[in-house]
């Protein structure tokens, strides 16, 4: 039998990693001389029941960013479905059917938008094909809308009536599918409530921490307070005698662990050595954990200390130099030009933690095979990349991927932390040791001490303004952190920062200090700190030039448009200028009459393929107590899929950015993290939440994600507003360290 179009479609889908249609299994059976099998499945993503209920599988993990709602909306739109008929189900973890099932980097929408459209359009064409047969009319006379296929004469059939025949239709060629005109959208661009809102609000959603497996034991795990330390012994007899404790033992570190602060290996499941306590319930093992007395070999452990890092950075800044990222050949001449005004500023930003509402946890059931059968593993967890849990089983115990089942659950926050699998490696190892299913739960202190932090850093900025009030030279020295000679995640300059693509006569250099502290992705890695430095310093230069900040910022964009034509990852200065102007207009920047002690601050940043400008209105009293009264946000991320979800993402980013900027800081002394819980790592209270006014530019560009890009401009917008209100310049975060208190 030749390779027909159905098989070609299937093969191309697997190669592309996103479609996985397999639309007409009944036809394949018929070709082989077998009976035609009725089916309600139009593809792996879509099922239609005879009563008209449309089930759409959401392929990507949900952590509050709304993709479980948004991706099915795209499918339903192209199908011509009525949203009220749709039931959304979280897809099982199976990359052979659903492609890469991950959420991170604000890439879920841009990565899946066209694939989801093809899912919906393919289902639509199959439904139209079925209606053409049953109504005995030409396909061109039919239209799918409101969960029906309607003939030009008015005759119609519901999707439910068509489902079985539709599943037998030839698979459409994905390359020639036609998509709906956006002007005819009835679902995309509207505000749709999250499909899990009710169960989340009523406490019925199953998060990883809620898992209950028959015969399950409970576990805690304790690592050395200094990263890299190895457990040598502990008060084993005392711990095992405690109520509810069934076992306690040391797990040796994975050979791959070492002291590397790169998160990559931990993402694939590297076991950091420590002491496991197993018992009948969580509180029993937590109680035992508190009574542990462990002797650690700290000879290989981290010796990082934040005060020493600060002092070293200042010495590096004074000395200058560093690896050249952008040469700026005439910078020195302009900085030494007596006619120019020169500004030099040293900026500092700290390490910060993720503090997801749901601490890290994982349930694992490792079963050793009997009578020559292979070992198997089943895992339950909330993860941004759940299938990577398989890598832990493969790497640690040599399991075959087909013998590992991963159950992905909703996450109580991710922000980059749940892209890693160090905690699942612990749960799997404990289950392997005791031969029973086990739920591992971290305490809040575990969650902070064992985090992969947003990396801290420093930037020494210097620039010259000419006699016409224009930027003549820009000198930026990034002083960050590396491990084994390479930047840790979030540190260093990658080449697409605003200063490196939007400024003329710029010299950018970089120096990395060696550290062992664990660093990882934290909501908008790199951008979340570079925006603070660059956009604050631009405001300093506008003040030095005695220019309006918005006018000065727009002027820096020049007349350029795309820096890399057609790439969504490339800054488009036209789109940047548009969002800046929109934020200025909607906030009343430069026109609004403000009371004494109140100021407006502007900032723009491009990251994660999004152009975002923000204006913060901030009031400050005589004691440096400040209140962020309002934040106006202007965003261009192309067409919005779910307006409700998009606004929620912007609001969440503003709140997260404000809380972090205001009061959060991780410090370490001799390798040991000094913060333990919310008493010394505070979070913003709800009363401090500003009003947030969001405006979207609905452009025709490819849609991009919103989980991260609204956070970076928040900090500089606020500190620029504080300067406007008080004349006091803030060059370090958190603001509490500079004597400013959020109220």
Distance CA 345, CA 220 (A): 46
Biggest CA–CA distance in the chain, Å, is 89
Mean pLDDT, rounded, for 420-436:
96
CB 527 within 8 A of CB 498: no
Predicted confidence (pLDDT) per residue in 316-353, tens digit: 999 999 999 999 999 999 999 999 999 999 999 999 99
Predicted confidence (pLDDT) per residue in 618-665, tens digit: 999 999 999 999 999 999 999 999 999 999 999 999 999 999 999 999
pLDDT of residue 562: 66
Q: Answer yes or no: do 127 and 34 share one domain.
A: yes
Q: Answer yes or no: do 727 and 625 share one domain.
A: yes
In a domain, 164, yes or no: yes
Average pLDDT of every residue of the chain:
91
In a domain, 424, yes or no: yes
Instruction: Give the Å distances, CA to CA, from 274 to 248, 351, 381, 423.
Output: 11, 24, 21, 12
Asked if pLDDT for residue 357 goes beyond 50, the answer is yes
166, 201, 236 — which closes off a domain? Answer: 201
Q: Which of helix, strand or coil describes residue 463?
A: strand
Distance CA 283, CA 243 (A): 10
pLDDT of residue 256: 66
pLDDT of residue 634: 98
pLDDT of residue 34: 32
- As to burial, measured by CB atoms within 10 angstroms (0-12 exposed, 13-18 middle, 19+ buried), residue 384 is buried
Q: Which of helix, strand or coil describes residue 650?
A: helix
User: Picking from 45-54, 58-67, 199-208, 496-505, which range would have the lowest pLDDT averaged per residue?
Assistant: 496-505
Asked if pLDDT for residue 41 goes beyond 80, the answer is no
Given the DSSP bridges, would you call strands 672-673 and 341-349 parallel, antiparallel or unpaired? Answer: unpaired
In a domain, 414, yes or no: yes
Instruction: Give the Å distances, CA to CA, from 174 to 16, 123, 469.
Output: 12, 11, 55
In a domain, 188, yes or no: no
Q: Answer yes or no: do 379 and 482 share one domain.
A: no
Asked if pLDDT for residue 29 goes beyond 70, the answer is no
- Work out the pLDDT band at 403, boundaries 50, 70, 90: very high
Asked if pLDDT for residue 16 goes beyond 50, the answer is no
Q: Answer yes or no: do 395 and 540 share one domain.
A: no
- Distance in angstroms between the alpha carbons of the first and the last residue of the chain: 73
- Work out the pLDDT band at 484, boundaries 50, 70, 90: confident
156, 172, 201 — which closes off a domain? Answer: 201
CB 579 within 8 A of CB 634: yes
In a domain, 290, yes or no: yes
The more confidently predicted of residues 565 and 555 is: 555
Question: Residue 214: which CATH number?
Answer: 3.30.365.10
Q: Answer yes or no: do 112 and 234 share one domain.
A: no
Q: Answer yes or no: do 536 and 400 share one domain.
A: no
- Work out the pLDDT band at 40, boundaries 50, 70, 90: low
Distance CA 451, CA 290 (A): 19
Predicted confidence (pLDDT) per residue in 699-732, tens digit: 888 899 999 999 999 999 999 999 999 999 999 9
In a domain, 608, yes or no: yes
The more confidently predicted of residues 124 and 11 is: 124
Predicted confidence (pLDDT) per residue in 498-541, tens digit: 888 888 899 999 999 999 999 999 999 999 999 999 999 999 99
Asked if pLDDT for residue 450 goes beyond 70, the answer is yes
Query: Which backbone phi and psi does 456 adopt, to 5 degrees?
Result: -80, 180
Asked if pLDDT for residue 126 goes beyond 80, the answer is yes
Q: What percent of the chain has pLDDT over 70?
A: 92
C-alpha angle 555/490/93, rounded to 5°?
115
Q: What percent of the chain has pLDDT over 90?
A: 83
Query: Which backbone phi and psi does 666 adopt, to 5 degrees?
Result: -105, 130
The more confidently predicted of residues 71 and 262 is: 71
Predicted confidence (pLDDT) per residue in 217-226, tens digit: 999 999 999 9
In a domain, 378, yes or no: yes
Q: Answer yes or no: do 430 and 525 share one domain.
A: no
Distance CA 443, CA 279 (A): 15
Distance CA 483, CA 43 (A): 46
Asked if pLDDT for residue 457 goes beyond 80, the answer is yes
The more confidently predicted of residues 2 and 610 is: 610
Q: Answer yes or no: do 523 and 392 share one domain.
A: no
E strand residue ranges, 263-304 = 274-279, 294-297
Q: Answer yes or no: do 605 and 644 share one domain.
A: yes
Query: Which backbone phi and psi does 166 adopt, to 5 degrees?
Result: -60, -40
DSSP letter for each residue of 61-83: --SSSSHHHHHHHHHHHHHT--G
Instruction: Give the Å distances, CA to CA, from 721 to 170, 506, 552, 623.
Output: 61, 26, 16, 16
pTM, whole model, 2 decimals?
0.92
The more confidently predicted of residues 612 and 272 is: 612
Q: Answer yes or no: do 71 and 219 share one domain.
A: no
- Work out the pLDDT band at 485, boundaries 50, 70, 90: confident
Asked if pLDDT for residue 429 goes beyond 80, the answer is yes
Predicted confidence (pLDDT) per residue in 253-297, tens digit: 987 655 444 455 566 678 999 999 999 999 999 999 999 999 999
In a domain, 187, yes or no: no
CB atoms within 10 A of CB 192: 21
Which among 298, 285, 293 has a CA at the least distance from the CA of 430? Answer: 285
Residue environment code for 587-599, b if the CB has 16+ CB neighbours within 10 A, otherwise e: bebeeeeeeeebb
Q: Answer yes or no: do 275 and 336 share one domain.
A: no
pLDDT of residue 549: 98
Domain of residue 470 covers 306-352+453-742
- Work out the pLDDT band at 372, boundaries 50, 70, 90: confident
pLDDT of residue 2: 33
- Work out the pLDDT band at 168, boundaries 50, 70, 90: confident
The first and second tokens of residue 280, run together, are: 């009948």
Asked if pLDDT for residue 39 goes beyond 80, the answer is no
Domain count along the chain: 3
User: Picking from 39-48, 135-144, 177-186, 570-579, which range would have the lowest pLDDT averaged per residue?
Assistant: 39-48
pLDDT of residue 19: 23
The more confidently predicted of residues 672 and 33 is: 672
Q: Answer yes or no: do 158 and 267 share one domain.
A: no
414, 447, 480 — which closes off a domain? Answer: 447
Give Cβ neighbours of residue 203 (< 8 Å, ≥ 6 apart): none
Asked if pLDDT for residue 42 goes beyond 80, the answer is no
pLDDT of residue 44: 83
């Amino acid at each position: 039998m030749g390779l027909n179009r159905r098989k070609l479609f299937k093969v191309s889908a697997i190669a592309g990693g996103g479609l996985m249609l397999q639309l007409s299994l009944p036809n394949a059976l018929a070709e082989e001389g077998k009976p035609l099998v009725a089916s309600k499945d139009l593809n792996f993503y879509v099922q239609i029941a005879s009563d008209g209920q449309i089930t759409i599988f959401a392929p990507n993990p949900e952590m509050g960013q709304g993709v479980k709602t948004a991706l099915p909306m795209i499918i339903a739109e192209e199908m011509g479905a009525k949203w009220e008929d749709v039931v959304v189900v979280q897809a099982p973890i199976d990359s052979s059917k659903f492609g890469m099932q991950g959420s991170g980097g604000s890439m879920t929408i841009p990565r899946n938008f066209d694939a989801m459209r093809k899912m919906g359009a393919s289902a639509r064409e199959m439904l139209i094909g079925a209606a053409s047969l049953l109504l005995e009319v030409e396909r061109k006379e039919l239209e799918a809308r409101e969960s029906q296929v309607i003939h030009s004469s008015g005759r119609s059939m519901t999707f439910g009536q068509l489902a079985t025949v539709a599943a037998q239709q030839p698979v459409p060629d994905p390359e020639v599918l036609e998509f709906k005109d956006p002007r005819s959208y009835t679902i995309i661009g509207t505000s749709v409530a999250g499909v899990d809102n009710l169960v989340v609000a009523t406490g019925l959603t199953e998060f990883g921490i809620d898992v209950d497996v028959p015969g399950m034991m409970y576990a805690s795990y304790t690592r050395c307070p200094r990263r890299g330390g190895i457990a040598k012994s502990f008060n084993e007899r005392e711990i095992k005698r405690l109520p509810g404790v069934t076992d306690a033992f040391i797990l040796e570190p994975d050979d791959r662990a070492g002291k590397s602060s790169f998160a990559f290996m931990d993402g694939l499941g590297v076991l950091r050595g420590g002491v496991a306590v197993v018992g009948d319930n969580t509180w029993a093992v937590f109680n035992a954990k508190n009574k542990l007395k462990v002797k650690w070999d700290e000879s290989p452990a981290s010796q990082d200390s934040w005060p020493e890092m600060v002092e070293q950075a200042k010495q590096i800044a004074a000395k200058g130099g560093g690896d050249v990222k952008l040469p700026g050949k005439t910078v020195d001449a302009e900085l030494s030009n007596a006619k120019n005004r020169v500004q030099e500023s040293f900026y500092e930003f700290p390490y910060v933690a993720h503090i997801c509402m749901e601490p890290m946890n994982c349930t694992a059931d490792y079963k050793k095979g009997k009578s020559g059968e292979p070992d198997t593993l089943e895992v339950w967890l909330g993860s941004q990349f759940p299938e990577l849990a398989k890598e832990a089983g493969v790497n640690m115990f040599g399991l075959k991927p087909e013998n590992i089942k991963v159950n992905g659950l909703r996450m109580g926050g991710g922000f980059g932390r749940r892209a890693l699998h160090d905690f699942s490696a612990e749960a799997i190892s404990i289950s392997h040791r005791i031969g029973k299913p086990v739920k591992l739960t971290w305490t809040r202190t575990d969650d902070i001490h064992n985090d992969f932090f947003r990396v801290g850093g420093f930037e020494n900025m210097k620039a010259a303004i000419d006699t016409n009030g224009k930027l003549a030279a820009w000198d930026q020295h990034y002083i960050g952190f590396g491990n084994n000679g390479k930047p840790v995640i979030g540190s260093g300059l990658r080449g697409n920062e605003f200063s490196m693509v939007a400024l003329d006569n710029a010299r950018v250099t970089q120096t990395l200090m060696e550290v062992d502290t664990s660093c990882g992705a934290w909501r908008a890695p790199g951008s979340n700190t570079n925006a603070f430095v660059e956009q604050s310093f631009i405001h300093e230069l506008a003040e030095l030039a005695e220019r309006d900040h918005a006018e000065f910022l727009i002027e820096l964009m020049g007349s350029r448009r795309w820096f890399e034509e057609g790439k969504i990852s490339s800054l488009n200065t036209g789109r940047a200028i548009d969002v800046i102007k929109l934020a200025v207009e909607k906030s009343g920047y430069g026109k609004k009459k403000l009371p004494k002690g109140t100021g407006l601050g502007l900032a723009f940043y491009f990251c994660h393929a999004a152009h975002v400008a923000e204006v913060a209105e901030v009031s400050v009293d005589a004691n440096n107590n400040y209140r962020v009264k309002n934040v106006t946000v202007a965003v261009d991320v192309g067409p919005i899929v779910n307006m409700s979800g998009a606004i929620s993402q912007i609001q969440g980013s503003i709140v997260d950015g404000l809380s972090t900027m205001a009061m959060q800081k991780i410090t370490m002394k001799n390798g040991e993290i000094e913060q333990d819980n919310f008493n010394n790592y505070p979070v913003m209270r709800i009363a401090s939440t500003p009003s947030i006014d969001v405006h979207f530019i609905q452009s025709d560009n490819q849609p991009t994600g919103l989980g991260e890009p609204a956070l970076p401009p928040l900090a500089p917008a606020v500190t620029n507003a504080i300067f406007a209100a008080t004349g006091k310049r803030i060059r370090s975060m958190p603001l509490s360290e500079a004597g400013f208190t959020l109220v």
